[in-house]
Chains A and B, each alone.
Chain A
């Protein structure tokens, strides 16, 4: 690709970013909804959501050649997540974390295809913004359960309350990291099987 050598974002890069952001968000929304129905999935969410979205992200990283694409994607995902009724913390984390992920990725890989370690580190940092979704659950606990009680059935709420002692917050951060790591592995496996010729 000719524009891979220049150091500026092209219009095509911007469109690619938009397309993959839409894809990432739809996958996030479709699989994230499962947790609204079943409390145990709500708790496993930090693990399986980055795992599934990893497939999309790995394919996206094969098209990233410049700083900026991952940042824009992160900020747009953060905005969309907030607009659809989640905590604003996600957007704040997105603004902080995605430039870091972006910078690391482009510094480590340059024009060459990214090594698996680079992708893992990038995606783990990128995914940690999702922890913002559960911040109200732990840090504004009473207000959160009060609000939920008006929206959800009582046994749904009490089982969620029982499954999330405060130390679960740290566990969830780790779960996102593990989920993201496995997501990259899964993404690369699926990628090799189906998309390999796109990679060049």
Chain B
């Protein structure tokens, strides 16, 4: 998996961001995409951000994501910017609504995917330790980041298996459906969590000592460029 590759030096990626840079860029992109409107500056910022996310995904050779973010967001932004004047009626309103949601969330999801697949948990924890965040916060935070995709996967797998058994709203009392849906999810998550805890403890996570890490941390050229682009987009949006 990508997580394992990121640890080896042999196939070092084209762009390798420090987790602190990723976090900051993620926040900036989030704010821009969720709150920016349609005026000139905001549109510029959103286009720059989309291009940045596309470039990062391309550097990782995740071509299907490149297509989704570039084409999806581009198309949605165009529909959003010009669609309102040209079309009317409930169907086009629905299209405009979907376009708006896609334009807002595709860059965020794309960047989230990039960050999650390129950042190892150990690099993330090492980076937080560098900026002196106590383990009290680092550990739960890292576990949450590690577990959310897993739990979401389990949840959709359970939903699928319920569908294949013909269990949907109306075919059984709502309380039973809720139980069928949640109880396996909780069981799986608790089991996975116990395994995770065992793995973490065996690697000495509970030892009260300075920890070392093999991840290369630090502010390099690629961090500088990516951060510069994200900040430039934010400034454009605020100033224009």
B136 near A14 with CB under 8 A, answer: yes
Question: In the assembled complex, which residues on chain A have CB atoms less than 8 Å from the CB atom of B196?
Answer: 15, 19
B46 to nearest A CB, angstroms? 14
Interface string of A67-81 (1 = CB under 8 A from B): 010001100100010
Q: Does B94 contact A (CB under 8 A)?
A: yes
Could you say which of B137, B148, B201 contacts A22, with CB atoms under 8 Å apart? Answer: B148
The prevalent SS among residues of B at the interface is helix
Q: What is the bound-complex CA distance between A106 and B127, given in angstroms? A: 32
Stretch at the interface among A51-59, A110-118, A125-133, A165-173: A51-59
B139 near A18 with CB under 8 A, answer: yes
Q: What is the bound-complex CA distance between A19 and B188, given in angstroms? A: 11
Question: In the assembled complex, which residues on chain A have CB atoms less than 8 Å from the CB atom of B137?
Answer: 72
Task: Using known A-B contacts A11-B206, A16-B193, determine if residue A80 contacts B139 with beta carbons closer than 8 Å.
Answer: no
Q: Does A200 contact B (CB under 8 A)?
A: no
Task: Using known A-B contacts A11-B139, A72-B136, A80-B144, determine if residue A23 contacts B206 with beta carbons closer than 8 Å.
Answer: no
Q: What is the bound-complex CA distance between A83 and B34, given in angstroms? A: 10
B183 near A194 with CB under 8 A, answer: yes
Interface string of A153-196 (1 = CB under 8 A from B): 11000000000000000000000000000000010001000110
Question: In the assembled complex, which residues on chain A have CB atoms less than 8 Å from the CB atom of B101?
Answer: 151
Interface string of B135-151 (1 = CB under 8 A from A): 11101111110111011
B140 near A56 with CB under 8 A, answer: no
Q: What is the bound-complex CA distance between A195 and B189, given in angstroms? A: 13
B140 near A11 with CB under 8 A, answer: no
Q: What is the bound-complex CA distance between A80 and B151, given in angstroms? A: 15
Question: In the assembled complex, which residues on chain A have CB atoms less than 8 Å from the CB atom of B182?
Answer: 27, 52, 55-56, 190
Question: In the assembled complex, which residues on chain B have CB atoms less than 8 Å from the CB atom of A10?
Answer: 206
Q: What is the bound-complex CA distance between A73 and B135, given in angstroms? A: 15
B100 to nearest A CB, angstroms? 5
Residue among A19, A55, A151 facing the most chain B CB atoms (10 A cut-off): A19
For B27, give the chain A residue with the smallest CB separation: A83
B136 near A9 with CB under 8 A, answer: yes
A71 to nearest B CB, angstroms? 10
How many contacting A-B pairs (Cβ < 8 A)?
Answer: 113
Question: In the assembled complex, which residues on chain A have CB atoms less than 8 Å from the CB atom of B90?
Answer: 153
A166 to nearest B CB, angstroms? 25
A25 near B183 with CB under 8 A, answer: no
B94 near A153 with CB under 8 A, answer: yes
B97 near A152 with CB under 8 A, answer: yes
Question: In the assembled complex, which residues on chain B have CB atoms less than 8 Å from the CB atom of A152?
Answer: 97
B97 near A19 with CB under 8 A, answer: no
Q: What is the bound-complex CA distance between A152 and B95, given in angstroms? A: 10
B94 near A59 with CB under 8 A, answer: no
B residues 101-137 near A (Cβ < 8 Å) are 101, 104, 135-137
9 closest residue pairs by CB, A with B = A18-B143, A19-B193, A22-B147, A11-B206, A18-B140, A14-B139, A15-B197, A26-B151, A17-B140
Can you report 28 residue pairs joining A to B where beta carbons are below 8 Å apart?
A: A11-B135, A11-B139, A11-B201, A14-B135, A14-B139, A14-B143, A15-B140, A15-B193, A18-B139, A18-B144, A19-B143, A19-B192, A21-B143, A22-B148, A22-B150, A23-B186, A23-B189, A26-B151, A26-B152, A27-B155, A27-B185, A59-B190, A73-B140, A83-B30, A85-B30, A85-B104, A153-B97, A190-B182
Knowing that A14-B143, A22-B144, A27-B155 touch, tell me 15 more A-B residue pairs with CB under 8 angstroms.
Answer: A9-B136, A11-B139, A11-B197, A11-B201, A12-B206, A14-B140, A18-B141, A19-B143, A23-B189, A26-B148, A85-B30, A151-B101, A152-B97, A153-B90, A198-B190
